[in-house]
Amino acid sequence: MAEIKGTVLTDSIKSIKDRYGDPAYKNIVDQLKGQTRTLFERSHILPLGWYSLDTFAQFLEMDVKVTMNGNEQELINRSERVIERQLSGLYKWFVKFGSPEFLLKRISVVHQTYFRGVDIEVNLPSPGRAVLKYTGFSKQHRLIGLSIIGFYRKGLEISGAKDVKAEFVTPIEDDKGYCELLLTWRGK
| Main-chain phi, psi angles of 40, to 5 degrees | -80, -20
Please give the model's pTM, rounded to 2 decimal places.
0.88
Residue 95 pLDDT greater than 70, yes or no: no
Last residue of a domain, one of 67, 95, 114: 67
Whether residue 46 sits in one domain with residue 78: no
Between 8 and 108, the more confident residue is 8
Whether residue 51 sits in one domain with residue 121: no
Last residue of a domain, one of 13, 35, 67: 67
Q: Do 59 and 27 form a contact (C-beta atoms < 8 A)?
A: no
Number of domains in the chain: 2
CATH number, domain containing residue 87: 3.30.1380.20
Q: How confident is the model over 146-178, as pLDDT tens digits?
A: 999 998 998 898 888 999 999 999 999 999 999
Whether residue 41 sits in one domain with residue 79: no
The parent domain of residue 154 ranges over 74-186
Whether residue 85 sits in one domain with residue 48: no
- Bridge partners (DSSP) listed for residue 134: 120, 179
Instruction: Print burial letters for 104-125: b (CB count within 10 Å at least 16), e (below 16).
Output: bebbbeebeeebeebebebeee
Between 66 and 98, the more confident residue is 66
